[in-house]
Chain A
């Protein structure tokens, strides 16, 4: 409509604006009154049959709410109770329900390692984990490694060795390295790359990452 009018060029610009403005107001008012009608019908307990059936149809067209489940997770030593969609991954629950966004979502299919967390000390991918199955397990995320202002030795080593560039994979790299050093406190240099193979770094900071792990080895 607007572009056609523009090409016709018969009306003054101010008048066009006025018309568009008016039609917008009309729409808003109309929309509001329709909404009020529906709300009114619901509150009055279906006094107008036509309106009531319309509202039922609307409800049927919308997807049913997902099944939720109240779960209590132990994250970094703290109990967190939250209502979660039963299909929700632990990654989404950590980031979106609990608000711990240090754990990153890279590929969401278990290939990149950015969402690595520790479950009872085992390196685990939060994206491949249903939150609802991890009650009564000890979950550790990147936020749980430092003690107050004192960084975990692996975090400190990553800073000193510059074990990152863009930083997106870093929290997963650090948590994975902490898990690796739990598994193999004396891991030989040659085995570090293979044992860190679940964590991709697209900036290719690998030499610095492995150097940081060598430094942190034996300090945990």
Chain B
């Protein structure tokens, strides 16, 4: 197996173009498991941790660019104020050891519907910056996921960064697992309120072949929330929101949970996170 360790972004793109079957690796927390258990034998590995252009983050006009090799630990330490939802989700990833190495871009590359980064990225309307030697393009996050472990990434493309708007209102994330640490989500849910445009974003994890938004639930809530009066959250409204979120899910029965349980749990997570976010909005 060939092992490439480019030291510039340009070099990384050239290797990717010349050898599309080279598997990109940053944190390695997914790729190494595949190698250790001989589930995958990639022709080559393309180690991106030596590429300086994709480390860290930058901000421009309220948009945060998260470099592809920025770890969850760094996201929690440096971006919790600007991207509270993503930081909340990052705190639930694996363990401190996993968070020191794992990256949000790696979650996107792996394309597992259970990845913890997906719900916050969907709820906040993130964009993915993809590049190849042919040029660059930008995809809205909901266009990136195509199926279970299938994404819109072309064979010669690499994820350069993820663009997430800085929070414009309260955001929440919740996840169900069999315990607090080191679990793959049974299901997860993220909500982002935009106090300026009075819109709502949602993201569902482990609820369908791809991570997805609950668009009907978002539209209903944006319309129904008492944005101006800041009234306490009406129970019927929260219940209806939960129902619409559950209706957006197409879960399966698997070792982690049944489809029926997942639908039920998503409605509960949706009501709870909405309650927390709305209280924060009212008190702001």
- The residue of chain B having its C-beta at the shortest distance from the C-beta of A91 within the complex is B36
Hey, which chain A residues are within 8 Å of B29, CB to CB?
Answer: 110, 125, 128
Hey, which chain A residues are within 8 Å of B148, CB to CB?
Answer: none
Contact B37 A113 (CB under 8 A): no
Q: Which one, B3, B36, B50, B96, contacts A198 given CB within 8 A?
A: B96
- The residue of chain B having its C-beta at the shortest distance from the C-beta of A115 within the complex is B97
Contact A111 B100 (CB under 8 A): no
Name A's interface SS: mixed
Hey, which chain B residues are within 8 Å of A133, CB to CB?
Answer: 5, 47, 49-50
Hey, which chain B residues are within 8 Å of A113, CB to CB?
Answer: 95, 97
Hey, which chain B residues are within 8 Å of A200, CB to CB?
Answer: 182
- The residue of chain A having its C-beta at the shortest distance from the C-beta of B179 within the complex is A197
Of A89, A132, A133, A195, chain B has the most CB atoms within 10 Å of the CB of A133
Hey, which chain A residues are within 8 Å of B101, CB to CB?
Answer: 124-125, 128-129
Q: Does B146 lie at the interface of the complex (its beta carbon under 8 Å from any beta carbon of A)?
A: no
Q: Which one, B32, B73, B94, B96, contacts A129 given CB within 8 A?
A: B32
| Docked CA distance A127–B29 (Å) | 9
Q: Which one, A67, A122, A128, contacts B28 given CB within 8 A?
A: A128
- The smallest beta-carbon distance between B212 and chain A, in angstroms, is 27
- The residue of chain B having its C-beta at the shortest distance from the C-beta of A135 within the complex is B5
Hey, which chain A residues are within 8 Å of B97, CB to CB?
Answer: 110, 113, 116, 123-125, 176, 198
- The smallest beta-carbon distance between A102 and chain B, in angstroms, is 17
Hey, which chain B residues are within 8 Å of A195, CB to CB?
Answer: 96
- The smallest beta-carbon distance between B68 and chain A, in angstroms, is 15
Of the four ranges (under 10, 10 to 19, 20 to 34, 35 or more), the interface on chain A belongs to 20 to 34
Q: Does A211 lie at the interface of the complex (its beta carbon under 8 Å from any beta carbon of B)?
A: no
Contact A197 B95 (CB under 8 A): yes
Contact B182 A198 (CB under 8 A): yes
Number of B positions contacting A (CB below 8 A): 28
Hey, which chain A residues are within 8 Å of B2, CB to CB?
Answer: 67, 86
- The smallest beta-carbon distance between A140 and chain B, in angstroms, is 14
Tell me the A107-138 residues at the B interface (CB within 8 Å).
Answer: 108-111, 113, 116, 122-125, 127-130, 132-133
Q: Does A194 lie at the interface of the complex (its beta carbon under 8 Å from any beta carbon of B)?
A: yes
| Docked CA distance A113–B97 (Å) | 8
| Per-residue A-contact encoding for B1-22, CB less than 8 Å = 1, 0 else | 1110100000000000000000
Q: Does A24 lie at the interface of the complex (its beta carbon under 8 Å from any beta carbon of B)?
A: no
Contact A130 B181 (CB under 8 A): no
Q: Does B33 lie at the interface of the complex (its beta carbon under 8 Å from any beta carbon of A)?
A: yes
Contact A123 B96 (CB under 8 A): yes
- The residue of chain B having its C-beta at the shortest distance from the C-beta of A105 within the complex is B36
- The residue of chain B having its C-beta at the shortest distance from the C-beta of A175 within the complex is B97
| Per-residue A-contact encoding for B85-121, CB less than 8 Å = 1, 0 else | 0000000001111101100000000000000000000
Q: Does B180 lie at the interface of the complex (its beta carbon under 8 Å from any beta carbon of A)?
A: yes
**What are 13 A-B pairs at a CB distance below 8 A?**
A86-B3, A86-B45, A109-B37, A113-B97, A122-B73, A125-B97, A125-B101, A128-B32, A130-B25, A130-B32, A132-B5, A133-B5, A195-B96
**Chain A residues with a Cβ under 8 A of chain B:** 66-67, 69, 86-87, 89, 108-111, 113, 116, 122-125, 127-130, 132-133, 176, 179-180, 183, 194-195, 197-200
**Given A133-B47, A183-B96, A197-B96, 12 other A-B residues pairs in contact with their CB atoms under 8 A:** A86-B3, A86-B45, A87-B1, A87-B35, A123-B97, A128-B101, A129-B28, A132-B3, A132-B47, A133-B5, A197-B181, A198-B181
